[in-house]
Amino acid sequence: MKDLDIRNKSFLEKIKIFFFSVIKPFSAIILFIVGLYIIGYVIVFFLILFILIYIYNRIKNIGKN
């Protein structure tokens, strides 16, 4: 990100500058959103697991009484 002067650069360097200035922030945002999705799914999975274990223990305790 040192030199954003595009006038006297070759085509490949223009593409590289474009990539670093545009695509990198978008990929970071996409990775952030995907990470949030994964964390959300893990949290929901553990919540459902704990709820099922709780219900299972309640049913077992009802059977004992």
Q: Which amino acid is at 28?
A: A
**Tens digit of pLDDT for each residue in 5-21?**
666 778 888 788 877 78
Convert the pLDDT of each residue in 25-46 to its tens digit. Answer: 788 888 899 999 999 999 999 9
- Kindly give, in sequence order, each residue whose CB lies less than 8 Å from that of residue 21, ignoring residues fewer than 6 positions away: 1, 4
> How many alpha carbons lie under 13 Å from residue 7 in its C-beta half-sphere?
1
| Residues with Cβ within 8 Å of residue 20, at least 6 apart in sequence | 1
